[in-house]
Amino acid sequence: MHTLLAALISFALLVQTAGAPGRVVNLVLPRSLAENESVVVELKLGVLARGAEIQVETTSGRMLGVISPYGIRSGNEAGTYTVPVPPEAISNQRVSLRITLSHNHSKRTPTTKEVRSVRLQITSPDR
């Protein structure tokens, strides 16, 4: 009975996120983590519409963070931002994320000009 319930919950989460807008990116850690290290996802953003936000979540639906680049002059690139990745979001040295652009109460997949690059970085407390 517990196995069936777990399978149904997993299926519901899959269906819920399968039709969700956003760019899915599958990233591989550059190397294994040491005991005191953590992971962040680095996003390099291009020109965004005023008020646009970039949402970063796991493909299972766990929200990791929202980037709200306010105060950027119109027409300028928004810059580079990092979002922490919890250890439980890493599986087999991989992280699967959904990147979504939210603007004016709607969500869509960001273009490659809006989100220029997405990569993982390993950080340590020494930095």
Q: Which of 99, 83, 112 is nearest to 24 (CA)?
A: 99
In this prediction, residue 125 carries a pLDDT of 79
What domains appear along the chain, each with residue ranges and CATH number?
21-123 (2.60.120)
Q: What are phi and psi of 108, to 5 degrees?
A: -155, 170
Going residue by residue through the chain (127 aa), what tens digit of pLDDT does each one get? Answer: 544 434 444 444 444 445 678 999 999 999 999 989 999 999 999 999 999 999 999 999 999 999 998 888 888 999 999 999 999 999 999 999 999 999 999 999 999 999 999 999 999 876 5
In this prediction, residue 16 carries a pLDDT of 42
In this prediction, residue 19 carries a pLDDT of 64
Asked whether 66 and 54 are in contact (CB, 8 A), the reply is yes
Q: How far apart are CA 71 and CA 2, in angstroms?
A: 50
In this prediction, residue 23 carries a pLDDT of 93
In this prediction, residue 18 carries a pLDDT of 52
In this prediction, residue 6 carries a pLDDT of 40
In this prediction, residue 127 carries a pLDDT of 54
In this prediction, residue 9 carries a pLDDT of 44
